[in-house]
Structure 1
Amino acid sequence: MPMSADFQSRLFPHLPTLVDHFQTPFHLYDEAGIRATGARLKEAFAGIDTFREYYAVKALPNPAILAIMQDMGFGFDCSSDTELMLSRQLGARGEDIMFTSNNTSPEEFALAAADGGCILNLDDINLIDRVEEMPELICFRYNPGARRSGNDIIGNPVEAKYGVSHEQIVEAYQRARDRGASRFGIHTMLASNELYHGYMIQTAEMLLDLIEELQAELGISFEFINIGGGLGIPYTPAAEPLNLEAMGRRITTLFAEFAGRNGYQPALYMESGRFVTGPHGALVVRAINRKDIYRTYVGVDACMNALMRPALYGAYHHIQVLGKDGESETELVDVVGSLCENNDKFAIQRELPRISDGDTLIIHDTGAHGSAMGFNYNGKLRPKELLLKSDGRVELIRREETPADYFATLDFTPDSLRP
């Protein structure tokens, strides 16, 4: 169930005008859809004493989008110095930010501690001694190993580079406490784009059980559990969407049962990115070439530097041809870009209406991990980003890259060293 009918009804009638004014290619995001999903997420967990979404900045790191998240009361999940900078530019401070380290440099730790700090979520027991000053509130990313399975995108937990192992987790909290930590949380992230709500329920149950064990062994209590992101969206028309409401009901019950046993209830944090913005974005392109050899190739004016998920994961993104829905004449085509790589394809042997040069194609579900994963191989420049506002206006929220941007890093003060 890709791009919603509501999004299409508000966008498609105006798309020819937008294409003419802004020129393709561009990513376009839907504010109304993003806000509706955010409200739905909060409602699903309203029965828990404290729930907070920490939007995964990596999914769509645009200040205009992050401002919407902030307005909905969400925090920010960051994993790099520039993501910290983006969040702080919007005024986020302290516990509005969760910084999940991963092979973290001393410079990143210093930035995380500065300017109001953040919730520090350590990924490795060895990092405890590399934190110059242990914050009052500390969190660890837990990797259960063979106790759980992952999925195709993140992989088997035993093989994943992330997290503190089950065998290390007691020691990790003990060492952090010895260095001065007095408030505690725990985090995990085991799957990505997971559509089975039961998996996420099991993750919440696993962490609640684990903190009971840690409480008993160490005499500490936990302010929150963070079950990570990973909530999936149905990229293909036939896929069943995640049952968020059933997930919310069961996790709320688990929290109530925990409170009955322990006399308190931790907060529930999540760091959804894809679920909040993924379905509410589209990459709009134009057909510029048709090539008939062993297959038919439809060339468009964007390439995989604007959306690399199909090349990286073999991911499916639904495609519509503007004004040609329901046409009887269809054909099998590969929809391709101009990059000098054979996997530069948005669709492979996809049945689509017959496409002519100049047709507008809408590639669905690019509101997360689309523009954010862009790159400049072949000197290709990333496209602009637009926001369809709730009041119907369309705003430019990031201009397209220019050759001047590409060459900017070649403007530097000469430096050399003869060792």
Structure 2
Amino acid sequence: MKYIKKILTIEKVKVRDIAKKFDTPTYCYSYNQLKKNINDFKKNFESFSPLICFAIKSNTNVNLIREIKKFGLGADVVSIGELMMALKAGINPKKIVFSGVGKTSKEIAYAIDKKILLINAESKSEIKEIDRIAKNKKKKVQIGIRLNPNTDANTLSQISTGKKENKFGVNEKTFLELVNYCMGSKNISLKCLSVHIGSQILDHKPYEKMLNVIDKIIVKTKHNFEFIDLGGGMGISYGDNNRKLNYTKYNIAIKKFLKKHSTKIIFEPGRSIVGNIGFLISKVIYIKENDEKDFVILDAAMNDLMRPALYGANHKTLTSIKTNRKSKKTYEFVGPICESTDKFASLKNFQKLKEKDIIVMCDVGAYGMSLSSNYNVRPKPAELLIEESKIRIIKKRQKHKDLM
């Protein structure tokens, strides 16, 4: 996304033209940015060719997943719905891993029937249930055990998953017990040690600590793991924060680990693949003047983009046409939903706005539409994939009659 002669464009398409033709709010995705992200990710780790399983939870648009699949990626799923979506998108079952703490018996049975690569189990009870179902089906099931490495990812508490107080994975003592349990089962094949320490991680050091924990526990198990699933969590730059994860140092740490352990690495990136490809186009309905600040009321709301309300997330906000006129007051960008948390940003020295102006919120490709809802009986936005000057509708706008 960039300004060309003060006109904001996504690839070669003007934002104001998108708003005029497709209405607002609308999600747009840049195909060329998607392509760049995937190729860059592969290049960062090309020395050991990991299996890259896209985290479906970050963006559940089946047509977008189809495009991601064309680059050879697999899928990380956390529900039967996500597994169905991955399969519908044409992803090879042998490139699918099923994560999550609360898989039901129905979900486990479905995953076994679809012959996916791995079910990453997170408790003794879950492994026993996998064992029981596999026995009934007379099948041997490949599983991983998720270790909780008690590693602080230095990220938001809401998206931390690798500390001992988090619900995910098992501690070292339980992990060792479960390895022994699996060795005694005729219906379980223990293939993987799995970890995932959090999301939006911008520092390589927590990953280094995580690898040290894994290294020590593998030695204790004396088990040959075919796969080590390192999860995802790689962060992106939001707003004007240009902090980035040092992939070079993370790559060095993994290569050092692989000198000691002959195994295939699995990654589960989501945000780093689709985060910065997405833009939410919205229109100013009203500007409500106030003493200290003016409320810019948009037609997009927290049901369309939940991250600011859920995490206090900041998304860079741009206008479709750039001018040099600045507002003297702070603008608070809000939606029409009846919640005080329905707000996106408070910005000083923002460009002077008027009603019906077009606004764009950036970097919404991950956990934008996938966290959206129909709260206040609001239909979900359309989704568009833009490549150069070509626009493709990859999901139609919902209509009120769809919700009735």
Question: TM-score scaled by structure 1?
Answer: 0.88
Letter paired with 2:393: L
- Indicate the SS of the match to 2:350: strand
Q: CA deviation at 1:70?
A: 1.0
Q: Aligned partners of 1:116, 1:226: CA distance in 2, in Å? A: 18
Does residue 21 in structure 1 map to residue 21 in structure 2?
Answer: yes
Which of residues 356, 367, 370 in structure 1 aligns to 2:368? 370
Relative to structure 1, is the Cα distance of residues 16 and 9 closer, same or farther in structure 2, using a 3 angstrom cutoff? Answer: closer
Do the aligned partners of 2:191 and 2:227 also contact (CA within 8 Å) in 1? yes
Q: Aligned partners of 1:325, 1:246: CA distance in 2, in Å? A: 41
Letter paired with 2:273: V
Q: Aligned partners of 1:101, 1:384: CA distance in 2, in Å? A: 29
Do the aligned partners of 2:149 and 2:214 also contact (CA within 8 Å) in 1? no
Letter paired with 1:355: L
Residue 236 of structure 1 is matched in structure 2 by 239
Q: Percent identity?
A: 25
Unaligned regions of 5+ residues in structure 2, if any? none
Which of residues 302, 305, 308 in structure 1 aligns to 2:306? 308
Q: Which piece of structure 1 moves more, 71-80 or 115-124? A: 115-124
Letter paired with 1:403: H
Q: Deviations over 1:150-183 (max 9, x none)?
A: 5323337122111112220011122122223334
Residue 146 of structure 2 is matched in structure 1 by 141
Residue 260 of structure 2 is matched in structure 1 by 258
- Indicate the SS of the match to 1:139: strand
Q: Aligned partners of 1:62, 1:54: CA distance in 2, in Å? A: 16
Relative to structure 1, is the Cα distance of residues 337 and 72 closer, same or farther in structure 2, using a 3 angstrom cutoff? Answer: same
Residue 324 of structure 1 is matched in structure 2 by 322
Do the aligned partners of 2:199 and 2:233 also contact (CA within 8 Å) in 1? yes
Residue 151 of structure 1 is matched in structure 2 by 155
Q: Aligned partners of 2:380, 2:142: CA distance in 1, in Å? A: 39
Q: Deviations over 1:101-144 (max 9, x none)?
A: 32121111111112333411001121111111174421011112
Does residue 214 in structure 1 map to residue 256 in structure 2?
Answer: no
**What is the aligned length?**
391
Q: Aligned partners of 1:107, 1:268: CA distance in 2, in Å? A: 29
Which of residues 263, 271, 283 in structure 1 aligns to 2:280? 283
- Indicate the SS of the match to 1:174: helix
Does residue 200 in structure 1 map to residue 207 in structure 2?
Answer: yes
Do the aligned partners of 2:152 and 2:206 also contact (CA within 8 Å) in 1? no
Residue 83 of structure 2 is matched in structure 1 by 84
Which of residues 184, 188, 192 in structure 1 aligns to 2:195? 188
Q: Aligned partners of 1:238, 1:209: CA distance in 2, in Å? A: 36
Letter paired with 1:232: G
Q: CA deviation at 1:205?
A: 3.5
Relative to structure 1, is the Cα distance of residues 275 and 325 closer, same or farther in structure 2, using a 3 angstrom cutoff? Answer: farther
Does residue 35 in structure 1 map to residue 35 in structure 2?
Answer: yes
Q: CA deviation at 1:247?
A: 2.1
Relative to structure 1, is the Cα distance of residues 327 and 204 closer, same or farther in structure 2, using a 3 angstrom cutoff? Answer: farther
Q: Aligned partners of 2:82, 2:283: CA distance in 1, in Å? A: 32
The CA RMSD over aligned residues, in Å, is 2.1
Q: Which piece of structure 1 moves more, 374-383 or 179-188? A: 179-188
Letter paired with 1:189: H
- Indicate the SS of the match to 1:158: coil
Relative to structure 1, is the Cα distance of residues 205 and 37 closer, same or farther in structure 2, using a 3 angstrom cutoff? Answer: farther
Does residue 64 in structure 1 map to residue 63 in structure 2?
Answer: yes
Relative to structure 1, is the Cα distance of residues 13 and 130 closer, same or farther in structure 2, using a 3 angstrom cutoff? Answer: closer
Do the aligned partners of 1:227 and 1:269 also contact (CA within 8 Å) in 2? yes
